[in-house]
């Protein structure tokens, strides 16, 4: 029997584990992928207090090791289902864990454009991780789709590796932080198409990747030849396995109050999986700390 089980080992889940263990709770973190969540695919983090600049994966490992050193138990497994009740059950692939409280911190995953050939090219010529796949395109031409922080920051990283970057942004401006935009515009191998959409992924006769077709200002169409595409068009919450709990909004995010409480007693949510306005590493860590302390208060009344 655990006091607290945290589902997800991104910044929110790892922070919750640290706070819970420091409060002397019996706590476990369940994660199906590498620790760090979206940090694993982030080149460098420059806006997390205490670090002028740190690789995203390194920051994730630092958080993971801190919990490990405190004695947090980690299960690298997949959660199939949560069964609510006074004693809650977290059903894994090969076992079931029992707990007094749960924090769901499963984060969100990149959205796709939903165009033909996208699935066929995924993991080959289409990527959602510049740090992982950028070196494969050294000296080549790539397309980056999106204009927010992720797109702009990853494009800046890629600019130091590839020959040329073409950014496709559907709005008339980039929406990233100004410092990120300034860093991007320092590179002379970047071209930006505003008010434009990718309308097709194109293949050559031999089925190899040709490039993308874009539509500019809802009128002109243009083909941009490239070796690869990096998509950054938003996120969708990883909540498929929690639909039975009736705690999701219409977009699949988990609804909470400012204590990270859901409508189920003893069930909390933290980080990007939560219905919220700002999704950053520091806000995820904030959520994790609050959720852990809220769980502690609940456990103190648990008889």
Catalytic residue, chosen from 58, 84, 94, 132, is: 132
Q: What is the Cα–Cα distance from 141 to 132, expressed in whole angstroms?
A: 17
Element (H, E) at 121: helix 118-121
> Has 227 been annotated as catalytic?
no
**Cα–Cα distance, 243 to 240 (Å, whole number):** 6
Q: Is 266 strand, coil or helix?
A: coil
The reply to whether 133 belongs to the active site is: yes
Quote the CA–CA distance of 14 and 27 in Å, as a whole number.
Answer: 11
Asked if residues 4 and 87 have their Cβ atoms less than 8 Å apart, the reply is no
- Catalytic annotation present for 84: no
How far apart, in whole angstroms, are the C-alpha atoms of residue 56 and residue 54? Answer: 6
CA separation for the pair 5, 104 (Å, rounded): 9
- 64 backbone dihedrals φ, ψ, rounded to 5°: -60, -45
What one-character DSSP code corresponds to residue 42? -
Say which DSSP state 190 is in. E
| Catalytic-labelled residue, pool 58, 84, 129, 177 | 129
Burial 254-289 (b: 16+ CB within 10 A, else e): bebeeebbbeeebbbbbbbbbbbeebebebbbbbbb
- Tokens representing 211 are 């490039």
Question: Exposure of 92 by Cβ count < 10 A (0-12 exposed, 13-18 middle, 19+ buried)?
Answer: middle
Q: Which residue of the set 3, 133, 272, 287 is catalytic?
A: 133
User: Which string of b and e fits 221-253 if b means at least 16 CB within 10 Å?
Assistant: eeebebbbbbbbbebebbbebbeebebbeeebb
Positions marked catalytic: 129, 132-133
């Amino acid at each position: 029997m655990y006091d607290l089980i945290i589902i997800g080992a991104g910044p929110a889940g790892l922070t919750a584990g640290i706070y819970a263990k420091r409060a002397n709770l019996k706590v476990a973190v369940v994660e199906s992928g590498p620790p760090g969540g979206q940090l694993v695919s982030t080149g460098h983090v420059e806006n997390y207090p205490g670090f002028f600049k740190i690789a995203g994966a390194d920051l994730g490992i630092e958080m993971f090791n801190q919990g490990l050193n405190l004695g947090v138990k980690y299960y690298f497994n997949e959660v199939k289902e949560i069964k609510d009740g006074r004693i809650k059950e977290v059903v894994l692939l090969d076992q079931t864990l029992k707990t007094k409280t749960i924090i769901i911190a499963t984060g969100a995953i990149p959205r796709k454009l939903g165009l033909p050939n996208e699935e066929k090219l995924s993991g080959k010529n289409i990527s959602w991780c510049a740090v992982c796949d950028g070196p494969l395109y050294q000296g080549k031409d790539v397309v980056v789709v999106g204009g927010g922080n992720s797109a702009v920051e990853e494009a800046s990283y890629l600019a130091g590796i590839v020959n040329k970057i073409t950014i496709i942004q559907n709005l008339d401006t980039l929406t990233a932080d100004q410092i990120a935009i300034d860093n991007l515009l320092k590179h002379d191998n970047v071209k930006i198409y505003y008010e434009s959409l990718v309308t097709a992924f194109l293949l050559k006769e031999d089925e190899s990747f040709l490039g993308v077709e874009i539509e500019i200002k809802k009128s002109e169409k243009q083909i941009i030849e490239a070796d690869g595409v990096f998509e950054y068009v938003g996120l969708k919450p990883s909540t498929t396995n929690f639909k039975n709990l009736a705690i999701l909004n219409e977009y699949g995010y988990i609804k909470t109050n400012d204590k990270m409480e859901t409508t189920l007693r003893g069930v909390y949510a933290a980080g990007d999986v939560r219905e919220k306005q700002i999704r950053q590493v520091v806000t995820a860590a904030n959520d994790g700390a609050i959720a852990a302390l809220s769980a502690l208060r609940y456990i103190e009344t648990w008889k």
